[in-house]
Amino acid sequence: MPNTLDQSYVQRSAWRPDLFAGKVVFITGGAGSICRVQAEALVLLGANAAIIGRNVEKTEAAAKEIATLRPGAKVIGIGAIDVRKVQSLKEAVDKTVQELGRIDFVIAGAAGNFLCDFNHLSSNAFKSIIDIDLLGSFNTVKVTFDQLRKNKGAILFVSATLHYYGVPFQIGVGAAKAGVDALSNALAVELGPLGIRSNTLAPGKIQGTEGMSRLSKASESEAKRTVPLQRLGTTEDIADGTVYLFSPAASYVTGDVLVVDGGNWQVSSGIGANDYPVTLLDAINAPKGGKL
């Protein structure tokens, strides 16, 4: 079971329980650890949701579990959706509007990554990351645009801090997320006159997430050593940031990036920093396999 929220979030949070009553959120990557908790927070505070993903079983199971968080909640899981294919996403949008009536909020959270140095990262692998993270984000907004315009909705992209400085082994996702931030900024300017807001949330080291388990081999005590606030983030930190950006409290906030990382990016030099440059040289000089 992922690191998820429950009813106690409503009692201890600063948000009123019916904050998003009548609203519908469309979330790509919604069964993943970061996007799932975003969905949970919105549903707990009154929204209905469409969880979009590639894995049918995982996506539908997540939707059923999230629906149990609030009596009367409507949460649908739509699997077998590839964000790289516009028509696939369009079908998910049509089903969401048919079953839930509307779309007010869009979270573009589908992502892909390979932990690999430049010398061993193939062109196809790099393209896959760009296609899922950046093109997929563009496609998600493209297919939901009519609903966003109709309902004066809001967009939230899930980004990262990996392009704020040079991070080894993260070339693909760093380039993709830099593009996502630029996309959000441009949409904030273009769509603002329509009443549509566009923002980005950039998580840092969040405990209990897929990103931490895949990308960090350090112990929790080691991982939090470079965080100014001296702790790892929680999924509740992500939930609160998401709720804020969709709430009326952020009605004059657009084109912004909310970094939720305890100040870590300000002092971090990235993966492998403790052994730099030995870690990098070992990886770059390793025997090369696979295709270009």
User: What tens digit of pLDDT does each residue of 103-150 get?
Assistant: 999 999 999 998 899 999 999 999 999 999 999 999 999 999 999 999
Q: Choose among 170, 168, 201: nearest CA to 269.
A: 168
Q: Supply φ then ψ for residue 77, to 5 degrees.
A: -110, 125
Q: Choose among 94, 6, 110, 115: nearest CA to 58.
A: 110
- How would CATH label the architecture of 8-262+270-284? 3-Layer(aba) Sandwich (3.40)
Q: Give the separation between CA 283 and CA 278, rounded to whole angstroms.
A: 9
Q: How many helices (H) and strands (E) does the chain have?
A: 11, 7
Q: Is 177 a catalytic residue?
A: yes
pLDDT for 30: 92
Q: Is 217 a catalytic residue?
A: no
pLDDT for 216: 58
- Give me the residues of the chain with pLDDT under 70, please: 1-3, 210-219, 268-280, 289-292
**Set 33, 137, 159, 184: catalytic member:** 159
Instruction: Say what the pTM is.
Output: 0.90
**Set 23, 33, 137, 177: catalytic member:** 177
